[in-house]
Amino acid sequence: MRIGTRKTILLGIGAAMVITTAGCSGGLLSSGSSDATSSGPVKLGMVVPLSGSSAPTGAYMKNGAQLAVDEINKAGGVLKGRKLELMVEDEACDAQQAVASANKVVSAGVVVSVGGYCSGATLPTLPIFQKANVPMIIPAANSQELVKQGLANVFLINGTGKQQSTTALAFMKKSGFATVALVDDNTSYSKDITTETQAQIEKDGSVKVLLNTSVTAGESDYSAVVGAIMAKNPALVYWTGYYQEGGLIINQLKKAGFTGKIMVADGSVDPSLAKIAGAGAEGVFATMTQTPDTIKGAEKWIANYKAKFNSDPGPYSTQAYDAVRVAAKAIEDAGSTKGADIIKALEAINGFSMFSGPLKFTPEHTLTSGGFVILVIKDGKFILNSVQP
């Protein structure tokens, strides 16, 4: 790889990294020109949870995005030398807080949004960014409701709930799970996955849904849903909410004597799940786009992250990193910081290399392939499962 030339400026992340070095740019700083009347930093906005129970994930995302910003700036920036500047604001996985933060970053003049973790908090920000004509490259939130809005400025670089459900069903069939209980937390993200999973199961006919129920997030006693699951005795429980409640439900299920298997969706893939669930976490499956330590060839990237932030990268750090890189590429390809120009450039991307693979958006601005795999908890850590759908 030709590292250090202006044409491949965003490729300079480390020759040992097969995935990341292959794709930071195919000439990001060689095409187009900046807006004639613009100068100074190019601002990117990131609205992620910095407080509340999902704050650890928000920190991973913030760090991943900042790592990309720093590397791009060190390599020369965008649009003939302009530096990227990342503005991070708190969404707290709360709709009202997210709206306030989205308005704040828009007022500050960001030209692309690279945030979005909780779908329920991201959804109400869509009209704000749309009205300001700010493209949204969403690295984590993946409810189908985000796609159903049909907004030209919204792009998802995480697999959708529908794609996650497809992977979940394929794994159930391959593993021989004849029955399942679907449990969500009634948020847009979680409900989207259970609804889509049940629809796909009913259409396929190979698995039977014995229970589809919701719990209230934030509680500590889930004995009611545990009792309902025990009464149905499914071969598999699929929890589609976040890790705080997921850990408690797993713990309480195991203490109640549940002997079936448990699987969680991507919102529960966090080291804290195993800590909350205790010994019951061992052997729990997960549908997830790959985390840094399960990505082949990411060792150098992980080392760079740890050197900069003195901590291990966690879930969605790589997606946030890629969101910044995709934003930089689109700005360069557009030769502009105008929203309409960046949107056209995003739609034209074909083959840009990300951790999840070459990027080409569908007409709905989603990934052509969701990239979901099956993880399993072993010795308290999520690793790639030996059986993949």
Q: What is the pLDDT of residue 12?
A: 35
Q: What is the pLDDT of residue 371?
A: 87
Q: Is 92:50 a contact under the CB 8 Å cutoff?
A: yes
Task: Assess whether 195 and 260 both reside in one domain.
Answer: yes
The pLDDT value recorded for residue 273 is 95
**66, 132: one domain:** yes
Query: Do 175 and 277 fall within a single domain?
Result: yes
- Can you give the pTM of this predicted structure? 0.82
In this structure, is residue 4 part of a structural domain? no
* Residues 49, 95: Cα–Cα separation, whole Å: 11
Residue 243 lies in a domain: yes
Residues 18 and 70 in one domain: yes
Whole-number Å distance between alpha carbons of 104 and 256: 47
User: pLDDT in tens for each of the 389 residues of the chain?
Assistant: 333 333 333 333 333 333 333 333 333 433 333 343 467 999 999 999 999 989 999 999 999 999 999 999 999 999 999 999 999 999 999 999 999 999 999 999 999 999 999 999 999 999 999 999 999 999 999 988 999 999 999 999 999 989 999 999 999 999 999 999 999 999 889 999 999 999 999 999 999 999 999 999 999 999 999 999 999 999 999 999 999 999 999 999 999 999 999 999 999 998 899 999 999 999 999 999 888 988 988 999 999 999 999 999 999 999 999 999 999 999 999 999 999 999 999 999 999 999 988 999 999 999 988 889 999 999 999 999 999 98
In a domain, 1, yes or no: no
- Answer yes or no: do 230 and 122 share one domain: no
* Token pair recorded at residue 181: 């209980």
What does the alpha-carbon distance between residue 137 and residue 156 come to, in Å, rounded to a whole number? Answer: 6
Is the residue at 2 inside a domain?
no
380 and 270 both lie in a single domain? yes
In sign, the C-alpha dihedral spanning 318, 329, 34, 38 is negative
- Any domain includes 122: yes
Residues 242 and 342 occupy one common structural domain: no
CATH number, domain at 100? 3.40.50.2300
**155 and 166: one domain?**
no
Residue with tokens 């020109």: 33
Q: How far is CA 375 from CA 63, 299, 301, in A?
A: 23, 19, 21
Distance CA 88, CA 59 (A): 10
Q: Which of 365, 322, 371, 351 is nearest to 159 (CA)?
A: 371
Domain-located, residue 389: no
Which residue, chain included where needed, has tokens 């105008």? 338
Q: Are residues 243 and 380 in the same domain?
A: yes
In a domain, 109, yes or no: yes
Q: Is the dihedral of CA 186, 368, 344, 73 positive or negative?
A: positive
The C-alpha atoms of residue 307 and residue 313 are separated, in whole angstroms, by 11
- The answer to whether residue 365 is domain-embedded is yes
> Phi/psi of residue 46, each to 5°?
-135, 115
Same domain, 145 and 22: yes
The domain total for the chain is 2
DSSP string, 217-276: TT-S--HHHHHHHHHH--SEEEE-S-HHHHHHHHHHHHHTT--SEEEE-GGG-SHHHHHH
220 in the same domain as 168: yes
User: Which residues form the domain of 166?
Assistant: 162-292+374-384
Same domain, 173 and 299: no
Cα–Cα distance measured from residue 235 to residue 216, given in angstroms and rounded to the nearest whole number: 24
